[in-house]
Amino acid sequence: MPDHDTDTLAVAGLHHVTATAGDPQRNLDFYARLLGLHLVKQTVNFDDTGVYHLYLGDAAGSPGTIYTSFPFPDARRGQVGPGQASTLHFGLPDIAARVQALRDQGCTLHPVTRFGRQAWALEDPDGQPLELTEGPGGLAGATLWLDDPTPTAALLTEVFGYVEIGREADGKGERRRLTRPGTGPGREIDLYHQPDSPRARSGAGTVHHIAFRARDRAHQDALAGAMRARGLQPSERKDRSYFESIYTREPGGVLFEIATDAPGFATDEPPEALGRQLQLPPQHAPRRAEIAAKLPPLDLPRPA
């Protein structure tokens, strides 16, 4: 069964999430060595070539499995709060062994039950909240922290094709879970609301944006039109080398991206060598030596 519906506005789920991080090696080591994700692309922030843009996911770099980071070595820590994707969800194979390995490395994990399912809550080395469950390996979803979840829920259910499957209170706040019915990764979105929330501040340990999957440009255009009809202001299409993207703030303040599945991560290096070498887009390629010399060297995880 294909990931995408073919004749509706509905998205297939998340395409990727992008976080702000601190030290690049520490960020890579945590997600690759401890969570077991595969580094599928090393490039730079196209708007600031002094900073890496690292992409990790399943071995093929499948849309929906992808976590990306902008690791600033001297980043100031942010604060998670309303108007952000506050927690990232990962589904990892052999979760019990993974949890034990994380504890052996000194990570503190708390068991939590979400909608009848066991999960483990922890923070990455920059303080980014994460929740882990058993899964195929890669991104499973995200929690959006919102002052008012209702307009965001309406956008997700009426345009993006999500379905609410339940609500839970945890003593501090309320969580509703939405999923995109069907197969494929990255299909879970929780909307979390808590009275007297701390104020969010961007920085290391916070999510910059989350991206949803578009089948192609026509689907992306149709989603842009539907968002405009609801008073949102999607950006022009931007070429991100591995996908094409539009961006908008959703009603709760979270930055949403709509990214096409194509062309994918094998567009500039062979599928069996994803992530092994720094890749630069055409506008920056002529300055390769200069750009590479300013980036901190990375000790890469060994290919599986």
One-letter amino acid of 134: E
Q: β-pairing, 174-179 with 163-169?
A: antiparallel
Which one, 46 or 115, has the nearer CB to Zn ion?
46
State in angstroms the smallest separation of the CB of 152 from Zn ion.
Answer: 18
State in angstroms the smallest separation of the CB of 194 from Zn ion.
Answer: 27
Q: Which residues bind Zn ion (CB under 5 A)?
A: 18, 211, 257
Which one, 124 or 257, has the nearer CB to Zn ion?
257
Map tokens 């899964």 to a residue: 135
Which one, 18 or 62, has the nearer CB to Zn ion?
18
Question: What are the strands, taking DSSP E only, across 156-253?
Answer: 163-169, 174-179, 188-193, 206-214, 238-239, 244-249
* 96-99 contacts, C-beta under 8 A, 24 or more apart: 98/35, 98/36, 98/132, 99/132
Map tokens 């019990």 to a residue: 96
CA atoms within 13 A on the CB side of 185: 26
Which one, 173 or 264, has the nearer CB to Zn ion?
264
Tell me how many helices (H) and strands (E) the chain has: 5, 16
State in angstroms the smallest separation of the CB of 70 from Zn ion.
Answer: 10
- Which region, left, alpha or beta, applies to residue 62 given φ > 0 means left and ψ of -120 to 50 means alpha? beta
State in angstroms the smallest separation of the CB of 289 from Zn ion.
Answer: 27
Which one, 250 or 257, has the nearer CB to Zn ion?
257
State in angstroms the smallest separation of the CB of 257 from Zn ion.
Answer: 5
State in angstroms the smallest separation of the CB of 57 from Zn ion.
Answer: 13
Residue 294 DSSP code: H
Which one, 194 or 241, has the nearer CB to Zn ion?
241
Q: What share of the chain is helix, strand, coil (3-state, %, to 5)?
A: 20, 40, 45
